[in-house]
């Protein structure tokens, strides 16, 4: 079974440019999460999809970030225009809740974004 | 304020000894707590989940304890090996929030 994949693995862009990150979750997982980790800090929640619907986007920093999950499969996270503080590692995770309501999230390798 | 804390300093342990990592939290009511392992350049990998009504959970050389009175979880690796060297993250699930993460503790097992 394929795990969660993310593309690209690295991205270096200039301030003001646009970057689109992609996440392919594990097949059949309804839940898809985006997280961000800034160096030395904890992982921060960005948003949560259940199938194609945004369940919770309370962690999105501002309206420069746009996430989509068309058809409830893969997801994209677009940053436009990128700012210096957007640099960090963006992780995607997917999960399927068990009967008890507990879930284990499976993470992708992350996209390392550097905004210069 | 609400927070979840892990020791930010790296933990150096001699091979064969037991490594113990700490996760403390304040002002959350977790339904469960999870421990993950993260290697450089990789995403976190799930290790163990412990529910609020469980005191202890084991998996091979791993053991997790959960004390909701102390608001603390301990993560133990017995008979540690150099391959256990990684950053270990705790994350708790409070029904009012998404998964909340600690910053992780780097564990170094010396041969």
- CB proximity B49 to A under 8 Å: yes
* A81: preceding bond cis by omega (within 30 degrees): yes
Q: Would you give per-residue pLDDT tens digits along chain B (111 residues)?
A: 668 999 888 999 999 999 999 999 998 888 899 999 999 989 999 999 999 999 999 999 999 999 999 999 999 999 999 999 999 999 998 887 788 999 999 999 999
Distance from CA of B33 to the nearest CA of A (A): 10
Category of B84 on φ-ψ map: left (φ > 0), alpha (ψ -120 to 50) or beta: alpha
C-alpha to C-alpha distance for A68 and A76, rounded to whole angstroms: 5
Beta strands in B68-102 (DSSP E): 72-77, 86-94, 100-101
Residue of chain B nearest A4, judged by CA positions: B43
- End-to-end CA distance of chain B: give it in Å, rounded: 41
Of B41, B46, B103, the CB nearest to A105: B46
Is A96 touching B (CB cutoff 8 A)? no
CA-CA distance, B54 to B64, in Å (whole number)? 10
Q: In what order do the strands lie in the sheet with B62-67?
A: B3-6, B19-26, B72-77, B62-67, B56-59
Digit-coded pLDDT (tens) for A37-79 = 998 788 999 999 999 999 999 999 999 999 999 888 999 999 9
Say how far apart CA A105 and CA B34 lie, in whole Å: 10
**Is A102's CB within 8 Å of B89's CB?**
no
Per-residue pLDDT at A51: 93
- Taking the C-alpha atoms of residue A77 and residue B87, their distance in angstroms, rounded to an integer, is 26
- pLDDT band (50, 70, 90) for residue A100: confident
Contact criterion met (CB < 8 Å) for A43 and B45: no
Q: Does B42 touch chain A (CB under 8 A)?
A: yes
Rounded to the nearest integer, the mean pLDDT of chain A is 93
pLDDT of residue A1: 60
B101:A44 CB<8 A: yes
Q: Find the CB nearest B99 among A58, A105, A108.
A: A105
What is the distance between the alpha carbons of residues B7 and B66, in angstroms, rounded to a whole number? 17
Q: Which residues of A touch B4 (CB under 8 A)?
A: 42
Confidence of residue A86 (pLDDT cuts 50, 70, 90): very high
Strands A111-115 and A10-13: parallel
**Which of B21, B4, B5, B6 lies closest to B109, judged by CA?**
B21
């Amino acid at each position: 079974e394929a795990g969660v994949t993310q593309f690209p693995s690295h991205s270096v862009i200039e301030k003001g440019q646009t970057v689109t990150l992609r996440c392919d979750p594990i097949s059949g997982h309804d839940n898809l999460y985006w997280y961000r980790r800034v160096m030395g800090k904890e992982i921060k929640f960005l948003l949560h999809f259940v199938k194609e619907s945004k369940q919770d986007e309370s962690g999105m920093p501002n309206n420069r970030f746009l996430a989509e999950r068309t058809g409830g499969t893969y997801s994209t996270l677009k940053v436009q225009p990128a700012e210096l503080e957007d640099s960090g590692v963006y992780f995607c995770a997917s999960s399927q809740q068990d009967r008890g309501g507990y879930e284990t999230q499976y993470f992708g390798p992350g996209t390392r974004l550097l905004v210069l | 304020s609400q927070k979840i804390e892990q020791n930010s300093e790296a933990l150096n342990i001699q091979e064969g000894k037991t490594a113990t990592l700490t996760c403390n939290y304040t002002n959350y009511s977790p339904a469960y707590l999870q421990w993950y392992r993260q290697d450089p350049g990789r995403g976190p990998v799930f290790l163990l989940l412990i529910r609020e009504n469980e005191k202890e959970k084991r998996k091979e050389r791993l053991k997790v304890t959960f004390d909701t009175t102390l608001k603390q979880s301990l993560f133990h690796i017995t008979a540690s090996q150099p391959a256990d060297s990684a950053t270990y993250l705790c994350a708790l699930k409070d029904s009012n929030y998404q998964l909340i993460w600690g910053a992780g503790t780097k564990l170094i097992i010396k041969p």
